[in-house]
Chain A
Amino acid sequence: MAVAARKAGRAGAGAANKTTPSKGSKNGATPNSPQFDKNQDLSAYNDMLLIRRFEEKSGQMYGMGLIGGFCHLYIGQEAVVIGMQMATREGDQVITGYRDHGHMLACGMDAKGVMAELTGRRGGLSKGKGGSMHMFSKEKHFYGGHGIVGAQVSLGTGIAFANHYRENGNVCLTYFGDGAANQGQVYESFNMAALWKLPVVYVIENNRYAMGTAVTRASAQTDFSKRGLSFGIPGEQVDGMDVRAVYAAGQRAIEHARTGKGPYILEMQTYRYRGHSMSDPAKYRTKDEVTRMREEYDPIEQVRRRLLESWKLSEDELKAIDSKVREIVNEAAEFATHDPEPDPSELYTDILL
Chain B
Amino acid sequence: MAIDILMPALSPTMEQGKLAKWLKKEGDQVKPGDVLAEIETDKATMEVEAIDEGVLAKILISDGTDNVAVNTPIAILAGEGEDVSSAAASAKAPAAPAPESQPAPTPDMEREGMADRPSPDSIQGTDVTPVGEPAAPYVIQTRTAHDAMAEIPEGTEMVSMTVREALRDAMAEEMRKDDTVFVMGEEVAEYQGAYKVTQGLLQEFGAKRVIDTPITEHGFAGVGVGAAFTGLRPVVEFMTFNFAMQAIDQIINSAAKTLYMSGGQLGAPIVFRGPNGAAARVAAQHSQDFAAWYSQVPGLKVVAPYSASDAKGLLKSAIRDPNPVVFLENEILYGQSFPVPKLDDFTVPIGKARIHRQGKDVTIVSFSIGMTYALKAAEELAKEGIEAEVIDLRTIRPMDTDTIVASVMKTGRCVTVEEGYPQSGVGAEIAMRIMENAFDYLDAPVIRVTGKDVPMPYAANLEKLALPSVAEVVQAAKAVCYR
Contacts and interface: CB of A to CB of B under 8 A. Distances in A.
A3 interface: no
Nearest to A273: B33
Interface in B109-163: 109-111, 115-116, 124-125, 128
B10 interface: yes
B51 interface: yes
A192 B7 CA distance: 50
B104 interface: yes
A158 B110 contact: no
A353 B227 contact: no
Given A144-B258, A192-B216, A278 B11 contact: yes
A63 B227 CA distance: 38
Contact of B259 (A138, A156, A350): A350
Nearest to B301: A352
B262 A136 contact: yes
Contacts of B259: 350-353
B105 to A, nearest CB: 5
A347 B11 contact: no
B9 A135 contact: no
Nearest to A186: B219
A63 B74 CA distance: 13
Contact of B222 (A145, A158, A162): A158
Contact of A154 (B6, B9, B32, B219): B219
A350 B107 CA distance: 32
Interface residues of B, number: 69
Given A165-B232, A279-B10, A155 B254 contact: yes
Given A127-B264, A134-B261, A192-B216, A159 B110 contact: no
Contact of B125 (A59, A75, A93, A347): A347
B94 interface: no
A124 interface: yes
Contacts of B45: 281-283
Interface string A175-203: 00000000011001101100100000000
A151 B261 CA distance: 15
Interface in A71-114: 75, 93, 95
Nearest to B15: A65
A67 B109 CA distance: 18
Given A64-B9, A127-B264, A143-B226, A185 B208 contact: no
Contact of A129 (B32, B105, B124, B261): B261
A125 interface: yes
A146 interface: yes
A75 B219 CA distance: 31
Given A56-B32, A277-B110, A280-B107, A158 B263 contact: no
A224 interface: no
Residue among B10, B70, B111 facing the most chain A CB atoms (10 A cut-off): B10
A297 interface: no
B203 interface: no
B213 interface: yes
B212 to A, nearest CB: 10
A52 interface: yes
B-side interface mostly: loop
A65 B12 contact: yes
Interface string B83-112: 000000000000000000000111101110
Contact of A279 (B32, B44, B224): B44
Contacts of A56: 32-33, 49, 51
Given A52-B33, A136-B265, A279-B115, A159 B226 contact: yes
Nearest to B223: A158
A161 B226 contact: yes
Given A130-B263, A185-B218, A353-B323, A65 B9 contact: yes
B115 A161 contact: no
B221 interface: yes
Contact of A353 (B107, B218, B226, B267): B267
A59 B49 contact: yes
B208 A148 contact: no
A57 interface: yes
B423 interface: no
Contacts of B115: 69-70, 279
B266 A138 contact: yes
B71 A158 contact: no
Nearest to B48: A63
B220 interface: yes
Nearest to A284: B107
A65 B71 contact: yes
A115 B71 CA distance: 20
Interface string A13-42: 000000000000000000000000000000
Interface of B: 6-12, 32-33, 43-46, 48-49, 51, 70-71, 104-107, 109-111, 115-116, 124-125, 128, 182, 208, 213-214, 216, 218-232, 249-250, 253-254, 258-267, 298-299, 301, 322-323
Interface of A: 52-53, 56-57, 59-60, 62-65, 67-70, 75, 93, 95, 124-130, 134-138, 143-148, 151, 153-163, 165-166, 184-185, 188-189, 191-192, 195, 211-212, 275-283, 294, 344, 347-353
Q: Which 10 A-B pairs have the closest CB atoms?
A: A158-B226, A154-B222, A63-B8, A188-B219, A281-B44, A127-B263, A155-B226, A350-B264, A158-B223, A134-B261
5 contacts: A148-B253, A161-B227, A191-B219, A278-B11, A279-B11
Given A124-B263, A154-B218, A161-B227, 9 more contacts: A60-B8, A60-B51, A65-B70, A135-B262, A154-B220, A155-B225, A158-B225, A162-B227, A294-B33
